Amino acid sequence: MQGKIIKIISNLCTVKTSVGTYDCIPRGKFRKEAIVPLVGDYCLIDPENHYILEILPRKNELARPMIANVDVALIVTSVKQPNLSLSLLDKMISIVLLNKITPILCFTKFDLATKEEKQELKKIIHYYKKIGFIVTDNKHLKKLMPYLKKKVVVITGQTGAGKSTFINKMDKNLHLKTDEISQSLGRGKHTTRHVELFSIKNFYIADTPGFSSLEIQNKSKEEIRDSFVEFQNYPCPFKNCLHDKEKDCGVKRAVEEKKILKSRYQNYLEFIKNI
Ligand SMILES: Nc1nc2c(ncn2[C@@H]2O[C@H](COP(=O)(O)OP(=O)(O)OP(=O)(O)O)[C@@H](O)[C@H]2O)c(=O)[nH]1
Ligand SMILES: [Mg+2]
Ligand SMILES: [Zn+2]
């Protein structure tokens, strides 16, 4: 019988099939073959003995959050509490794009920002829109819905950014656990502990544990460069340039001329330095 893994807690996988859900454990051969089942996996199960027999090929997978077969990533970034982190945002955008997932940028907690901070945010949001991203907030649900229709969506972002709160808003029956952030640490408390896919309206959405730091894994400097999609708008005279050292680099010039957002370029340099 075929199904889709919608939840994993330790090694107990909840598998949704056309005739109901089954709690299954992966069969012994998985450990031997180093196959780790992921939420989002399509699999074959033995419903009588509650075994997962086989994981079907994936179209993509993320290490953080751990999930497979995703179409859209809703990247949640709080503008305050926790503080705005454009570094985490840019990193997540790169990871998502390099895994062939469509990013949607969702800013939360605008209500906590001052007038000046809102002005600054407006400019930042304008930039991300201009370079081609869908940008939204956690208030305008109606505008967002068409982008999620029939998709498998993962919500991801810093702990305490408001991911579970946002999903609760999408479906009033869910009642996912949410919690205030720690005032002393200025960040969330890792309230969501496991990845789980929910079928709501006409799409699937996975709530996931938040993070406070993130690594780009198994990607080359060139791949990271190419995930900064706006760089290609600025011709550079150097072949295969990483846009970090050359004096007359086209991308560096665009940064100086304020055509490329400075934080984007700085984050890019930081990411390739760490490869
Ligand atoms: N002021 C304000 N608070 C918000 C907003 N969205 C969420 N919150 C609050 O932020 C806190 C954290 O929200 P959660 O939904 O638990 O955050 P999370 O991203 O799921 O956190 P983890 O599960 O730890 O990753 C809660 O107290 C929410 O009520 C918002 O737009 N404005
Ligand atoms: Mg949560
Ligand atoms: Zn260059």
What b/e readout covers 189-228, taking b as 16+ CB neighbours within 10 angstroms?
Answer: eebbeebbbbebeebbbbbbbbbeebebeebeeeebbebb
Q: Cα of 262 to ligand 3 centre, how many Å? A: 15
| Pocket-testing residue among 167, 168, 178, ligand 1, by greatest number of atoms within 8 A of Cβ | 178
| pLDDT at residue number 30 | 85
Q: Cα of 177 to ligand 2 centre, how many Å? A: 7
Q: Cα of 188 to ligand 2 centre, how many Å? A: 9
| Pocket-testing residue among 165, 169, 177, 191, ligand 1, by greatest number of atoms within 8 A of Cβ | 165
Q: Give me the CATH code for the 62-207 domain, please.
A: 3.40.50.300
Which parts of the chain have pLDDT scores under 50?
none
Identify the nearest ligand to the CA of 163 by its number.
1
- Domain segments of the chain: what residues? 2-57, 62-207, 221-273
2-57: in CATH 2.40.50.140: yes
| pLDDT at residue number 32 | 82
| pLDDT at residue number 151 | 98
Q: Which CATH number fits domain 221-273: 3.40.50.10420, 3.40.640.10, 1.10.40.50, 3.30.70.3270?
A: 1.10.40.50
Identify the nearest ligand to the CA of 190 by its number.
1
Q: What pTM, to 2 d.p., does this model score?
A: 0.97
Tokens 């940064």 found at: 255
| pLDDT at residue number 41 | 98
Alpha-helical runs (H) found in the chain: 29-32, 86-98, 115-130, 141-148, 163-170, 221-227, 250-256, 262-273
Confirm whether 2-57 and 221-273 share one CATH topology. Answer: no
| pLDDT at residue number 34 | 86
